[in-house]
Copies of this chain bind each other. A is one copy, B any other.
Amino acid sequence: MSRSDRPVQAFVPGHVTAFFSPRWHDDPARTGAIGAGITLSDGVTVRAEPADETAITLNGRGIEMAPVEAALAELDATVNVMADSPLPVGAGFGVSGALTLGAALATNHVSDVGCTENELVSIAHRAEVRASTGLGDVVAQARGGVPIRLEAGDPDHGKLDGVPGPARIEYLAFGELSTSDVITGDTEALSAAGERALSGLTERPSLQRVFELGRRFAREADLMTPRVEAVIGDVRSAGGDATMAMLGETVVALGSGLSDAGYDAQSCTTCPGGAALEWAPPG
């Protein structure tokens, strides 16, 4: 019996990828992306309760999210998934990965499935890969901090390291970019740029380098939009450090970089720990 009388919820940090290089394989557990990014104290809180039919809400509104449904199917559970998040969807914060991993953690608990943490991370990772909604968010969100993805894939196949934190982070989201369109398109230049960035980070690992290499990657992979480029330029002119979220029309800055440059940005911190179950607040 792993259930407790006290209600629990899953918290999964947001994750902004700074640079990446996809790794494809017939087996979704071995598919993913190497690269690096930043997990955020702003994330997704997920509760689950057994139900006759599966339903998913985000901030009180019914949504459809293929990887969540796939993960619940693999757990053989029908539940009501209730998620809340301050993060925008489709803007490069890994909300789909967070919702999928959070739903897996919460459902495993309420439905007494008996999976380990690695099994739940693998289920969520494979569901994201199959749905083309993400390649590396889930394993990064499971670790927390500032994850370096050295080898791609689920916990049985991937390998992670991390840049020690902590740091204040600011972000400003303009709009969506389709992860699916980019990762299912021609990724040769992107893939090479991501590999160069990862080599650059492992040579000299620091949070500043994550931002510097992320900017270079976004330009080399031809993913930077004019609006994002202009804002990053403003942050740099004000003496700050910023890069683009992969994949969203979103700028992420170190410290108070965006507000120092005059932008009205959201602020949070790097998330010291990874995804975990926690007790739900009363009521």
- Chain A interface residues toward B at CB < 8 A: 1-2, 4, 8, 105, 108-109, 114-120, 144-145, 148, 155, 161-167, 202, 204-208, 272-274, 276-279
Contact = CB atoms under 8 A, between A and B. Distances in A.
A102 B43 CA distance: 26
Contact of A108 (B164, B272, B278): B164
Contact of A145 (B4, B115, B276, B279): B276
A115 B207 CA distance: 12
B272 A164 contact: no
A70 B164 CA distance: 21
A117 B162 contact: yes
23 contacts: A1-B208, A2-B206, A2-B207, A2-B208, A8-B166, A105-B164, A108-B164, A109-B164, A116-B148, A116-B163, A116-B205, A117-B161, A117-B162, A117-B163, A118-B162, A145-B276, A155-B161, A164-B276, A164-B277, A166-B277, A166-B279, A272-B276, A272-B278
Sort A-B residue pairs by CB-CB distance and give the 9 closest, nearest first: A273-B273, A272-B276, A117-B162, A118-B161, A2-B206, A116-B161, A116-B205, A165-B277, A164-B277
Contacts of A116: 148, 161-164, 202, 205
